[in-house]
Amino acid sequence: MSKLATIAEKTGVSPATVLRILRGDNKEVWPSAVRRAAEVRSLAMKLGYMPNASARATRRGKANAVALLLSTNQGRSNLPSELLNQIHDSLDTHRLRLLVSKLADETLTDRQALPSILREWACDGLLINYTDHIPEKMIELIRNYRVPSVWMNSRQESDCVYYDDFGGALEATRHLIELSHRKIAYLDFTVHEAAGRTHYSRVDRFAGYLQAMRSSGLKAFDRDRVAGVPVRDRLQATIDLLKSPDRPTAIVTYDAAERLLYAAAMAGLRVPQDLSIVSFGHRAVSGELGEMFFGRSVTSMRIPAEKAGKSAVEMVLKKIAAPQAALPSRVIPLDFQIGDTTGPCGTV
């Protein structure tokens, strides 16, 4: 007699009920049902019996799992804990498992490897967290083979969830303008590359800054005064900018606010009395996980990874239900959070 049949016979229920209880599908409302379920679980544990999820998935043609695809290059798959936790929790509410795997570019562009991903991983769909330097062949293969998938933090024609970095930079710059700042610079300390290779946020944040400045009749600072110099010289270039006669009274920075706070201190400037700073980041400006530097919180355009994770899961479930349907992109607005690094413009 099989273990399943033994459990059913000794607890007085059918094998189908045993499976429902062990899978958590059984509704246990009445006290008698609760006791019976406890007996089934206890006996199953004693006998070492667990339902075969793989066999069940094969029979049904569904794995009840979604895979999160990452690049082996860490810089191309930014995965903050807030995003990962929300993906997991959103899938869990639908009783779906999350699988995580990293693949090299060579695998992602292999015509034989990519189409077998769903079968080998035993998953129903993909969440692709591959943000920049995306191989064109990878996009082509996913499109041609109609893999039920959703791109995250990557702007595609459809089937993607990404952030409104343009709107975030526009709002950040307008905030500084409302504080009477007129000399506002935009700084990006990342390595500059051609627009087709870099992440869309690098282009959009600068474009949002430019639009806010131009619509207010203000002159944009030459960002190459810092970004155009070798990486090893950028700290000194930033200090020189902050010491110059035409120095900015406010800065919108792509990220890395701590670098600007350090440079401002080296230049003898007080924040925000002499220099206001707005940055971008995943963490809230207050609380235990806040972006705090020496007890000061940074005014930030917060990237709402939790909202993006929830939206991505909702979209991939729709893709699994209708793989051939092209779903409209979802653009997630950034959250503006006031910190200690912005204030009214003083005299320069």
Domains within the chain, CATH numbers bracketed? 3-51 (1.10.260), 60-162+305-332 (3.40.50.2300), 165-304 (3.40.50.2300)
User: Taking Cα atoms as reference points, which of 316, 315, 270 lies closest to residue 294?
Assistant: 270
Mean pLDDT over the full length of the chain = 84
Q: Which of 239-248, 268-277, 287-296, 301-310 has the lowest average pLDDT?
A: 287-296
- What is the per-residue pLDDT for 78? 85
Query: For residue range 111-161, what is the model confidence (pLDDT) as tens digits?
Result: 666 656 655 666 888 999 988 778 777 777 777 767 789 999 999 889 999
- What is the per-residue pLDDT for 59? 46
pLDDT score of 164 more than 90: yes
Give me Rg for the CA atoms of the chain: 26
Share of the chain above pLDDT 70, in %: 84
Q: Average pLDDT of 41-64?
A: 65
> Beta-carbon neighbour count of residue 81 at 10 Å?
11
Higher-confidence residue of 313 and 143: namely: 313
Whether a cis peptide bond, with omega within 30° of 0, leads into 272 is yes
Helices 234-243 and 257-266, packing angle to 10 deg = 60
pLDDT band for 196, please (50, 70, 90 cuts).
low
Q: Average pLDDT of 29-52?
A: 76
Q: Average pLDDT of 58-71?
A: 75
- Residue ranges of E strands in the chain: 65-71, 97-103, 125-129, 149-152, 160-163, 184-187, 250-253, 276-281, 292-293, 296-297, 299-302, 330-332, 335-337
pLDDT score of 71 more than 50: yes
- What is the per-residue pLDDT for 289? 43
Copy the structure tokens of residue 109: 């562009």
pLDDT band for 209, please (50, 70, 90 cuts).
very high
pLDDT score of 104 more than 60: yes
pLDDT score of 63 more than 50: yes
Q: Are 278 and 299 in contact (CB under 8 A)?
A: yes
pLDDT score of 169 more than 50: yes
**Helix (H/G/I), strand (E/B), else coil: 106:** helix
Copy the structure tokens of residue 78: 């930014």
